[in-house]
Amino acid sequence: MDFVETTLNSKKIFTGKILSLRVDEVKLPNGNISKREIVEHPGAVAIVAINENMEVLMVKQYRKPTESTLLEIPAGKLEKGETADICAQRELMEEVGFRALDMKFLAKFYTTPGFSNELLYLFLGQKLEKKSKKADDDENIQVEKIPFLEAVKMAYDGKFLDAKTIIGLTLAYHQIKEKI
């Protein structure tokens, strides 16, 4: 079965600081015509950062789209021309004030493929080295240290509502479980 949708025309509706919105008119494999609203995003990284005490460094911040304060692993948007591993180190320094001497790629995945092309690169950062924190002007975050196994249990118990945090903690656990 053919699943490909052919784009007949595309119209950019909005271009902002972190995303764009376009509407594509598409021809479906069965011949029907439909519209797709697509959020274009440059991609992002997220880091499960674990210190020498086996604590995961997390950020607590208010998220306007959900109208709630969430506890998440550090993350951020890829800048133009930036590689995922460079972005991961930058975001780790900006959000929690550390650099990972051991940074391992864990996975990449689409965050919400039903309406966005955002691809997220997930890393495990260990052997953390303290650096000066350089938070973005528009971020108000608090760093929290949670014992790694407790954070993993919280993920399995449904205590986190952020998908990248749940996926990150789960994959990190499977990566290092023999060492703990």
pLDDT in tens, 20-72: 999 999 999 999 999 999 999 999 999 999 999 999 999 999 999 999 999 99
Taking alpha carbons only, the member of 30, 28, 23 closest to residue 9 is 23
The residue type found at 63 is: R
Confidence band, pLDDT 50/70/90 cuts, at residue 160: very high
Residue ranges with strand state E in the chain:
6-15, 20-27, 33-40, 44-50, 55-63, 68-72, 75-77, 98-110, 119-130, 141-147
Whether residues 73 and 115 share a domain: the answer is yes
pTM for the full predicted model = 0.93
Alpha-carbon distances of 27 from 1, 8, 9, 58, 146, rounded to whole Å: 15, 7, 10, 44, 49
Both 107 and 27 in one domain: the answer is no
Predicted confidence (pLDDT) at residue 179 exceeds the cutoff of 70? yes
Q: What is the mean pLDDT of the chain?
A: 96
Q: Which amino acid is at 25?
A: E
141 and 116 share one domain: yes
In this structure, what DSSP letter does residue 141 have?
A: E
Residue 95 CA to residue 93 CA, distance in Å, equals: 6
- Residue 84, φ and ψ in degrees, nearest 5: -65, -40
Q: How many domains does the chain have?
A: 2
Domain of residue 10: give its range: 6-40
Strand partners, 40: 20
CATH, residue 141: 3.90.79.10
> Does residue 55 share a domain with residue 35?
no
32 and 120 within one domain: no
Regarding whether 168 and 89 lie in a shared domain, the answer is yes
Q: How many angstroms separate the CA atoms of 160 and 155, rounded?
A: 6
Dump pLDDT digits (tens) for 108-132.
999 999 999 999 999 999 999 998 7
Write the CB contacts of 88 (distance below 8 Å, at least 6 apart in sequence): 45, 47, 100, 103, 121, 123, 125
